């Protein structure tokens, strides 16, 4: 396909075209640090470092962050996202931030059955259930990356009554 036409010497033109059409280049999912991968990372406006809530993932993330520092990337360019986040996991967001010496940008809830069914069906979360926590997590992440304010939840009539009773 067309992606095979993007050779290392064409990467700068490729990213220029992407950025001129979409306004921003976000990189996620780099599996190696080949010349092509580093060129892509250099050209990105944002690098999403997606991790899970476990010690091996933190060790790997620490090594990647160290490499990014040696490559001269600004700390603000790298955004840490916790995938499959579990609030009751003993490895808290605060502890992850301490161990990585880097702020966690966003977390995406763990709902394996929902995500697994999306993958099997080849469907987007937004097309299946707009109110699902996974969909809302992706929406939050996208809004933050684009600088769009996330809409506050509308308070229902019953929440007004319960607030009134407390007074």
14-59 tens-digit pLDDT: 888 888 998 888 887 777 888 888 888 998 899 999 999 999 999 9
CA dist 25 and 13 (Å) reads 13
Predicted local confidence at residue 38, as pLDDT: 87
- pTM assigned to the model: 0.81
- Closest residue by Cα to residue 125 from 13, 26, 133: 133
pLDDT, one tens digit per residue, over 80-131 is 999 999 999 999 999 999 999 999 999 999 999 999 999 999 999 999 999 9
């Amino acid at each position: 396909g067309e992606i095979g036409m993007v050779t290392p010497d064409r990467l700068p033109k490729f990213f220029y075209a992407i950025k001129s059409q979409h306004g921003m280049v976000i990189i996620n999912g780099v599996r190696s640090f080949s010349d092509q991968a580093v060129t892509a990372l250099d050209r990105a406006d944002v690098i999403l470092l997606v991790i899970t809530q476990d010690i091996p993932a933190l060790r790997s993330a620490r090594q990647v962050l160290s490499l990014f520092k040696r490559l001269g990337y600004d700390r603000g360019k790298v955004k840490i996202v916790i995938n499959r986040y579990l609030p009751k996991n003993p490895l808290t967001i605060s502890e992850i931030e301490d161990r990585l010496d880097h702020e966690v940008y966003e977390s995406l809830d763990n709902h394996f059955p929902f995500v697994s069914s999306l993958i099997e069906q080849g469907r987007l979360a937004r097309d299946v259930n707009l109110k699902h926590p996974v969909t809302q997590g992706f929406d939050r992440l996208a809004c933050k990356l684009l600088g769009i304010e996330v809409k506050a939840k509308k308070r229902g009539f019953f929440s007004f009554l319960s607030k009134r009773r407390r007074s």
